[in-house]
Homo-oligomer: A and B are copies of this chain.
């Protein structure tokens, strides 16, 4: 099957997530990156494009959207990998041209931008995929399956945590670009750790459990001197249907590199998954021995096998999980090109709805915390 012609906005030199998107788009050989507006100036963009072997470089995303839409061999989809405050405008430019959008999370930096983007998606026939990449891990798919098929019984508890340590010391004052924009409200939005990683934990907890957070009580804090956005967030959760939970996101917890972990407990059993060891899933049926499920190992469900590339014991990682979203996006793009219904084509891919939910999550966190951790509805 022919590769999908892909463009990219953002992701020039030094950017972390742009490189990740590029590798992810290549792993399953479904995309070919042919155009980009990779940096903030036309010169830098052209330089990055050349270094990466990308044919067409543009000065900005508006120019790119128009020009590519006008070409017969123009891009069919675009990856948006800029800081958060650029997401909305860039996405709208491509959606307006009917070009499918694959956008990094969180959705936008403000609720107003989010609402505008939501409308733009509604008005477009193009797909909008939000890269909540952790949903692409095979064992996450298996966990979601197992919960949905009732292996845990009614879910009672969801414990989510996402500690990191990279902001333990004040990196943003030491010229680290990643730290600069992630601690800057103008570029990141109202959430610090909750926007950067808390939204991942929230999204994943809901994806796995099949539940929606109805309200939360949050205590946000900045430990870093002079830091305005939260670098640590504690919160209690209440889910629709009666389940309860906790969520902890932190970027000041030394020894935690990227320690996203979700635990779900129901009347009949529990599940436990850690992002740093993603090929494993603990399943603990109540009253029976604990079982360590492995990717593509004995007991792997169809949903898990479908997104697994190599045999059990040959570890897949972060890039493969990310690639699964690209692979499924490719399927979805080809499906809508073939006339399929947009919602059906999306399948379990995270999109605008998950993006809006994430924005409500950030907003509720900030509001609850400002209100002395009062319970706040999402």
Contacts and interface: CB of A to CB of B under 8 A. Distances in A.
A169 interface: yes
Contact of A294 (B26, B232, B257, B373): B257
B315 A310 contact: no
A246 B217 contact: no
Contact of A313 (B16, B257, B288, B320): B257
Interface string A265-283: 1111110100111110011
A375 to B, nearest CB: 6
Given A23-B309, A317-B316, A156 B232 contact: yes
A286 interface: yes
10 contacts: A19-B310, A26-B29, A156-B223, A157-B250, A169-B287, A253-B265, A256-B284, A257-B313, A278-B315, A310-B318
A289 B291 contact: yes
Contacts of A317: 279, 314-317, 319-320
Interface string A1-14: 11100000000000
A153 to B, nearest CB: 9
Contact of A319 (B27, B250, B278): B27
Contacts of A253: 157, 263, 265, 270
A245 to B, nearest CB: 7
A223 B268 CA distance: 13
Q: Please indicate which of the listed interface residues A223, A238, A268, A309 has the most CB atoms of chain B within 10 Å of its own CB.
A: A223
A221 B248 contact: no
Contacts of A339: none
A315 B372 CA distance: 37
A260 to B, nearest CB: 9
A145 to B, nearest CB: 15
Given A29-B22, A29-B53, A53-B1, A282 B311 contact: no
